[in-house]
């Protein structure tokens, strides 16, 4: 009887003390939010590839609250063998680097480039879209649209009168996307400045308000194109245009709208001829490389370049964009 009691006690103690330990191949995924469609798509692809390598995932959704994410990282970091982080919060990013160094475990920042240096830790990488390419591709699509239509210079002032809707002010992606857009348009010979260049904070409603204001201020007949830093904002601008009778199927009342991201609703709007185009990041390759970086100890920049034909520098891996257009 005593032997049985001792055995049960031992089993109970063993179970209690084994709780904090995760199985081999456990990966922490710390996301600032799973609400944005692009993050949800990235997460699904990462897990698809990870499960093929028998990786288990512990997912943390901070629900757009940076304090939540800091707490989640501090609390649960130690329970995994590797870490994937999607964040726009510098404190969260720095904590992930510090704790990864301490545990000597792989760390991949995915989709959003951290605004802190991770180069002092050799097991830390960034895998995300080539944002400079995105802006240049938008410029190429708008130029192609103009060439196909012959001209969109409604007021004959020889200026490309476009409304540009940026993301969050001082955000690196916003800066890179917009700078490359402008450079591309100038390279194609278009005369700027723009009619309007304002910040929509990646938000549908803010972009709708911006577009509504510009229609009233400029007159809809003087707006020749709309270019947004994201599909969500392109869709917000589309709503304002449609409320004023535009982009409903009549080519005489149509203003080309371009976005970035590959949002499902934007793809549908392009297929229906309501939005002219977007550029879509290769999230499949992004997810595949992310998983390889947390599982392959000897993966190098050179090997990634040779395998995927991508731009890789200082452990920054930039995946390509592709066009989706209808005009």
Does 272 fall in a domain? yes
Domain count, the chain: 2
Query: Do both 249 and 296 map to the same domain?
Result: no
CATH code, domain carrying 92: 3.40.50.2300
Q: What percent of the chain has pLDDT over 90?
A: 88
> Mean per-residue pLDDT for 230-257?
96
Query: Do both 160 and 244 map to the same domain?
Result: yes
> Mean per-residue pLDDT for 58-68?
97
pLDDT at 191: 86
Range of the domain at 96: 22-130+282-322
Q: What is the pLDDT of residues 178-198, one digit of tens each?
A: 999 999 999 999 988 889 999
Query: Do both 49 and 118 map to the same domain?
Result: yes
What is the enclosing helix (H) or strand (E) of 199?
strand 196-199
Q: Band of the pLDDT at 1, cuts 50, 70, 90?
A: very low
> Mean per-residue pLDDT for 279-293?
98
> Mean per-residue pLDDT for 213-222?
95
Query: Do both 119 and 158 map to the same domain?
Result: no
Specify the long-range contacts of residues 310-315, CB closer than 8 Å, at least 24 apart.
Answer: 310/285, 311/130, 314/119, 315/118, 315/119, 315/124, 315/125, 315/126
pLDDT at 7: 37
Query: Do both 225 and 296 map to the same domain?
Result: no
Distances from the Cα of 268 to the Cα of 12, 253, 260, 263, angstroms: 56, 20, 14, 9
> Is the pLDDT assigned to residue 9 strictly greater than 80?
no
Token pair recorded at residue 307: 């395998």
Query: Do both 121 and 59 map to the same domain?
Result: yes
153: which DSSP letter? -
């Amino acid at each position: 009887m005593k032997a049985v009691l001792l055995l049960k006690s031992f089993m109970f103690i063993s179970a209690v003390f084994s709780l904090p330990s995760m199985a081999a191949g456990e990966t922490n995924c710390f996301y600032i939010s799973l609400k944005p469609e692009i993050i949800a798509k990235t997460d699904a692809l990462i897990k698809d590839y990870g499960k093929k390598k028998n990786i288990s995932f512990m997912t943390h959704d901070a629900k757009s609250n940076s304090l939540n994410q800091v707490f989640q990282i501090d609390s649960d970091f130690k329970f995994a063998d590797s870490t994937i982080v999607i964040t726009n919060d510098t404190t969260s990013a720095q904590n992930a680097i510090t704790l990864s160094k301490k545990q000597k475990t792989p760390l991949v920042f995915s989709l959003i480039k951290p605004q802190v240096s991770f180069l002092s830790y050799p097991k830390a990488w960034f895998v995300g879209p080539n944002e400079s390419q995105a802006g240049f591709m938008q410029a190429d699509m708008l130029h192609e649209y103009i060439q196909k239509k012959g001209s969109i210079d409604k007021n004959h002032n020889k200026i490309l009168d476009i409304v540009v809707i940026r993301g969050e002010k001082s955000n690196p992606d916003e800066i890179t996307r917009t700078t490359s857009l402008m450079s591309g348009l100038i390279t194609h010979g278009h005369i700027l400045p723009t009619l309007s260049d304002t910040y929509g904070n990646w938000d549908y409603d803010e972009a709708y308000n911006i577009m509504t204001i510009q229609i009233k201020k400029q007159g809809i007949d003087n707006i020749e194109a709309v270019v947004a830093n994201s599909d969500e904002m392109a869709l917000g601008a589309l709503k304002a245009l449609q409320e004023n009778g535009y982009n409903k199927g009549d080519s005489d009342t149509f203003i080309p709208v371009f976005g970035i991201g590959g949002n499902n609703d934007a793809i549908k709007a392009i297929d229906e001829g309501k939005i002219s185009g977007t550029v879509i990041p290769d999230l499949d390759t992004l997810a595949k490389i992310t998983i390889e970086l947390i599982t392959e100890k000897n993966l190098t920049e050179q090997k990634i370049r040779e395998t995927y034909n991508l731009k890789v520098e200082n452990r920054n891996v930039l995946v390509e964009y592709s066009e989706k257009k209808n005009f």
